[in-house]
Amino acid sequence: MQQPVRIAPSILAADFARMGEEVRAVAAAGADYIHIDVMDGHFVPNITLGPDMVAAIRPHSDLVFDVHLMIAPADLFIEPFAKAGADIITVHPESGPHLHRSLQMIKGLGKKAGIAINPATPLDVIDPVIGDVDLILCMSVNPGFGGQSFIPGTLDKLKELRRRIDASGRQIDLEVDGGINAQTAPQAATAGADLLVAGTAVFKGGPEAYEANIRNLRGER
């Protein structure tokens, strides 16, 4: 069953020199989760941050820390991110040889487990593990950089993922990430997404704009 739409600002678009303040600001502005994009320059063509940054910002918010591992191999870093304060850890099926084992590792550390679906990843990859995940992240851009445009075909993928989640009878977040703004957010929500990741659309304009930016993503004025 689709849940109310929640907003997860991606700190990839925040001011890295003021990260603690930025996390506090978006939390005060109405964010539901904090989305943390971890990139290694290998699995994706960019390098961002590691467990130390997560540990550094953890005291600044009690919101859910939604950590997206765009790294390979991912298994080596699951425990460090769990210890640093991640609440949800999401991995890509392509980032290791044994997806089920990776999900078991996350759950064994007491965290929620997510699986990320790239634009070219077949949706059937979720079927054997849908009983083990708490979140499915549908990438609406190719991962690696912020500021990309939403891939329209993602809407059909979201509809099919919503159908599969509902058929499972489990409460699983359906998250979408990439090119989410005031125009694409309602389209994604209508297609079945209930957790929207947004970077530029939240952080543009500085802290005084964050509340209005988040309200726009929710379709509120």
Annotated binding site: 10, 35, 37, 68, 144-147, 177-179, 199-200
**Pairing state between β 173-177 and 135-139:** parallel
Place of tokens 């190719």: 142
Helix (H, G, I), strand (E, B) or coil at 170: coil
Rounded Cα distance, 27 and 20, in Å: 11
pLDDT tens figures, 159-210: 999 999 999 999 999 999 999 999 999 999 999 999 999 999 999 999 999 9
Annotated binding site for a divalent metal cation: 35, 37, 68, 177
pLDDT tens figures, 49-61: 999 999 999 999 9
Q: Where do the domains of the chain lie, and which CATH numbers do they carry?
A: 6-218 (3.20.20.70)
Please state at what angle helix 210-218 crosses helix 184-191, rounded to 10 degrees: 40
Question: Cβ(9)–Cβ(198) under 8 Å?
Answer: yes
Q: Report the 10 Å Cβ neighbour count for 152.
A: 11
pLDDT tens figures, 70-99: 999 999 999 999 999 999 999 999 999 999
- Maximum Cα–Cα distance for the chain, whole Å? 46
Q: Which residues are catalytic?
A: 37, 177
Q: Tell me the pTM.
A: 0.96
Annotated binding site for substrate: 10, 68, 144-147, 177-179, 199-200
